[in-house]
Chain A
């Protein structure tokens, strides 16, 4: 499907022709950099555990900011009509836009490679959890991007798309932190639904199929819901 590739290319260039990309990347680096290094020297340990521990929370509002534009803008200016009457399928459009969002998350993570690089100079760094953490970050970014894409396909307002996506992502992240208050019978199910638990597993350096399947399913559900929501607009 070369069409999906062209959609991807267009979205990718759009990210960097507007200032939004630079703002989002700067904020992301500032927030992660500050929170990570402000405690790093207190713990006095050469690992990135704290960095990856807060990633789901930070992604919960950064990734929706990346995806909010993707369909809302098309709906708002009406370009969805020019787009969908070109010889592309909805699936190609969705895949292209989703891939662009995930690629953007990857690009945003790229500068943070300076953290493990500089830490490895200070002490013995175990690279296993680091690689797992970055892999997990991409999987998490993909799942949240699919949710964000769905929220974006619901409304022509980017702000509403952002708030809806943030609410869902925050909800999924926070589930594991409120398990304490819940009856024991549903704890198992809810613990599985929460992102945090799965992400931290991978960030430990243990890439378990169950966790990968979890992120893949969230992404698939998000993308499928986007497909349905676009089809409903007929």
Chain B
């Protein structure tokens, strides 16, 4: 891509060479990316990778040390009121006033967001429905469980039905049922709106996002659609099998001769069974050939599967500390 001009209309957020320095520590190191309208982008990375710092700069809460952010073609200036109006932001672990009632808080947000006096209650009612917080409306935020607090935070972010929704670890602290619900909400919003969310939970990014950006030590190590990332990081596959009544030497000898097998690793036999890992070159599926080979012996085949490249293995590969 590089110097090639990008179509500007469809880019909601354009980030160029964004850097944030905290004293001697460089939290974000010259990252560039674009986010299209209607895209759900997942920011993925281990703890301390620079996800939260990046999101804070996108929302205008932190000023970048260098680099530019453009939202809908507008550069982010000091206070960026117009841009703040377009964005809803849920910071990590939903820091909200403890002493306010949920309803009072949401009304306050509605007021500041500039909703008309008549429309406020209606909107709060809708959000209570979407985020399922109707039954805690009259409790102080401080006494809520983490899951409820998170959902109040989500309602806060969605108050003005913003064009861009930025969510920092939106599902942390939720139980599995709630996670599914929140994902569903995010997916629904993502049909028309731009959503940026950060997470260090891989299945979450896989389930919710159209595109994933893997950040490690302040730089982008992978950027692309979920399956695109999976494909690009492939190139090596493994077949796991467990056999019984087999001699390790014979196994190595026999299976190593199959075309495409680079290495045969056998582990110590336990209870007469022998776990074997075949490392294969290229993308060809060797399972048929391996099975064919084993059928000609008198080994018992107990287990047999191919390790698919999960996002998890890719992630580990990309973010391993050197």
Contacts and interface: CB of A to CB of B under 8 A. Distances in A.
B99 interface: yes
B62 A234 contact: yes
B76 interface: no
Interface of B: 56, 59-63, 79, 81, 84-85, 87, 89, 91, 93-100, 104, 108-109, 111-114, 153, 156
Label chain A's interface by main secondary structure. helix
B61 A84 contact: yes
Interface stretch (A9-17, A31-39, A192-200): A9-17
A6 B84 contact: no
B59 A85 contact: yes
A107 B26 CA distance: 48
A90 interface: yes
Interface string A66-97: 00000001000111011011111110000000
User: Which residue, A17, A81, A86, has most C-beta atoms of chain B within 10 A?
Assistant: A86
Q: Is the interface of B mostly helix, strand, loop or mixed?
A: loop
Contact of A81 (B95, B98, B100): B95
Given A14-B100, A82-B95, A87-B85, 13 more contacts: A2-B111, A6-B108, A6-B111, A17-B99, A18-B99, A81-B91, A85-B61, A85-B89, A86-B113, A87-B84, A87-B114, A88-B112, A89-B81
A13 B153 CA distance: 21
Given A81-B56, A82-B89, A85-B60, A13 B96 contact: no
Contacts of A14: 97, 99-100
Given A85-B59, A89-B81, A77 B112 contact: no
Nearest to A80: B95
Contacts of A45: none
Nearest to B156: A82
Interface residues of A, number: 24
B91 A17 contact: no
Contacts of B96: 77, 79, 82
A183 to B, nearest CB: 43
Contacts of B156: 82
Task: Output the residue of A2, A81, A84 with the most chain B CB within 10 A.
Answer: A81
10 contacts: A7-B112, A13-B104, A17-B99, A79-B97, A81-B89, A81-B95, A86-B109, A86-B113, A87-B85, A89-B81
Contacts of A88: 112
Nearest to B105: A10
Contacts of A86: 84, 109, 112-113
Contacts of A18: 99
Contacts of A26: none
Q: Which of A10, A18, A85, A89 is the most central at the interface, judged by chain B CB atoms within 10 Å of its CB?
A: A85
